[in-house]
Amino acid sequence: MKSLGIKLKEIENKINLEKSKKIKRDKRIDQREKKIHLKYIKAWNSGVLNNKTFINNLNMICNKFKKIDSKNNYSWMFYAADISSRERVKDKVAFYFNYGHIDLQLSLSGLYSRVSLDGVQDYKIEQLKEAKQEYLNLILETFKSQNEYLNQ
């Protein structure tokens, strides 16, 4: 009977050791991802959220669209789209048309983090400037095609 108690204690110790290792490993991974995400978030904040030129461009486009077509509603906004993310960041900018929207979103997933243009094209964070330019071009093209369609 004594050997049964010893075997149970060994099993318990082994399971506790594995749990402890898993907790430490998960904590290390979380810290590493957080550090990586911080780099992406800083680039996103400076390149998009706090970029006065980008914001002014969106405002200028929105105001011009409203002037050209006052019947429809045009607007844009920043918001936190991924509420499951540990980091609290406004990770999406969306431009709304009367018939839908176009978005640019920061997707955080460790080393594979990216900026996604309308869920169709992905860019590395180093290509943020190019992604923003494509985003603005896509807004203009969408407006142009919607108005061509409506005016037929």
Domain that holds residue 67: 3-150
DSSP reduced 3-state for 152: coil
CA distances from 55 to 14, 61, 125, 148 (A): 56, 10, 19, 27
Per-residue pLDDT of the chain (152 residues; tens, 9 = 90+): 568 888 889 999 999 999 999 999 999 988 888 888 889 989 999 999 999 999 999 999 999 988 888 888 899 998 876 655 666 778 899 999 877 899 999 988 888 889 999 888 999 999 999 999 999 999 999 888 887 765 65
What is the tally of structural domains in the chain? 1
Judge contact between 49 and 78, C-beta under 8 A: yes
Q: For the purposes of burial, counting CB atoms within 10 Å of the CB of 23, is it exposed (0-12), middle (13-18) or buried (19 or more)?
A: exposed
pTM tops 0.85, yes or no: no
